[in-house]
């Protein structure tokens, strides 16, 4: 597992870097095709959790961009494998080889979880042993003569949060009441997981009551401290964009605007504070960018009291068309599952 510090993301691991790495390593045509599929879905390099789905949702990849020392301790998972191929020795990059990192790996490790690391330094061996891993040295690759591989085999019971196991049921059938945006989203996700769904709706079509507004805007929140609301809306915003793009690819495109969304500051002080936050967190320009007053006025087409910031992928969407698109996608999934 290699988690990139957010302040280094744009410099360390861009999409071009990912494709260059594949070009220099992967030779098998089949693997190259899979690598390009991943590259084509690579998310914007903003901090937080990114969920990528492939093969109709049958393969799910969760990526976390952030500082490892901050992200690992709060993760709740049972990992099957750790690929800890940091290219620097503990002396060069001590933050990623600290006792706290190894303790966090131990807490996240599932039974028998495997581990591999580019480093074979003595302190790494001791840290692995102290945290319940057994290891062995093997030949390295490239110019590296040796590396370590091993697995999780603690001599003690590890106390930690255990994710609940799925409920064992003979028939996966759910009844969803209401087909507003929330109901349609639940139906689509259940259908994607192979559930049989019965939906109950008093109207003749979806999204007629609270979700029946002519349009709604969508964009993430920006805050000076990157609070919970900012992180949640960021993850939801990016995931929604990927899902809507997939709906469009399947021929079920919802009606939405794609010219971006301009958010105006309440005053010059707010414009300065949010602008500082955008610079501090290093958001890429395809996520959000600050605008001087003249550019904001040009986009808005009217005089403004203050400047703001632009979300190039934000905009408006027709809730009813989104609900209909999700419903059609659900029917397509059901036909695909029944035809297998």
26 with 103, same domain: the answer is no
Tell me whether strands 79-84 and 109-117 are parallel, antiparallel or unpaired. Answer: parallel
In a domain, 167, yes or no: no
What tens digit of pLDDT does each residue of 173-227 get?
999 999 999 999 898 888 888 889 999 999 988 888 888 888 999 999 999 999 9
171, 196 in Cβ contact below 8 A? yes
206 with 323, same domain: the answer is yes
Last residue of a domain, one of 56, 76, 96: 76
* pTM of the predicted protein model: 0.79
What tens digit of pLDDT does each residue of 155-187 get?
877 666 666 666 777 888 999 999 999 999 898
The label of the residue with tokens 């709060």 reads: 74
296, 24 in Cβ contact below 8 A? no
For the domain that residue 153 is a member of, what is the CATH number? 3.40.50.150
**Who contacts 21 (Cβ-Cβ below 8 Å, separation ≥6)?**
none
Q: How many residues does the chain have?
A: 340
Q: Strand pairing partners for 264?
A: 308
Domain that holds residue 231: 215-317
281 with 146, same domain: the answer is no
What tens digit of pLDDT does each residue of 4-44 get?
443 334 445 788 888 988 888 888 999 999 999 999 999 99
């Amino acid at each position: 597992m290699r988690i990139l510090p957010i302040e280094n993301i744009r410099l360390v691991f861009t999409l071009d870097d990912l494709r260059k790495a594949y070009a220099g390593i992967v030779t098998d045509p089949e693997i190259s095709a899979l690598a390009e599929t991943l590259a084509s879905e690579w998310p914007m390099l903003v901090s937080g959790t990114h969920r990528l789905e492939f093969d109709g949702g049958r393969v799910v990849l969760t990526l976390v961009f952030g500082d490892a020392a901050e992200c690992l301790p709060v993760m709740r998972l049972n990992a099957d494998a750790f690929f800890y191929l940091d290219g620097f020795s503990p002396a060069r990059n001590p933050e990623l080889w600290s006792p706290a990192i190894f303790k966090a790996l131990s807490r996240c490790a599932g039974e028998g979880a495997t581990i591999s690391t580019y480093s074979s330094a003595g302190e790494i061996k001791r840290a692995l042993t102290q945290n319940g891993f057994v290891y062995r040295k093997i030949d390295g690759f490239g110019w590296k003569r040796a590396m370590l591989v091993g697995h999780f085999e603690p001599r003690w019971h590890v106390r930690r949060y255990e994710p609940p196991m799925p409920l064992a049921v003979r028939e996966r059938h759910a009844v969803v009441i209401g087909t507003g945006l929330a109901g349609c989203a639940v139906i689509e996700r259940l259908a994607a997981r192979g559930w049989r769904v019965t939906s109950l709706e008093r109207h003749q079509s979806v999204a007629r009551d609270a979700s029946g507004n002519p349009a709604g805007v969508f964009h993430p929140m920006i805050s000076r401290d990157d609070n919970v609301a900012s992180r949640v809306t960021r993850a939801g915003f990016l995931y929604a964009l990927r899902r809507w793009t997939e709906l469009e690819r399947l021929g079920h495109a919802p009606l939405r605007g794609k010219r971006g969304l301009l958010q105006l500051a309440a005053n010059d002080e707010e414009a300065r504070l949010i602008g500082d936050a955008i610079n501090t967190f290093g958001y890429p320009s395809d996520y959000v960018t600050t605008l001087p007053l003249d550019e904001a006025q040009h986009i808005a087409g009217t005089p403004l009291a203050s400047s703001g910031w632009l979300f190039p992928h934000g905009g408006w969407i027709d809730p009813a068309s989104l609900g209909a698109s999700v419903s059609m996608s659900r029917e397509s999934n059901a036909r695909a599952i029944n035809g297998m």
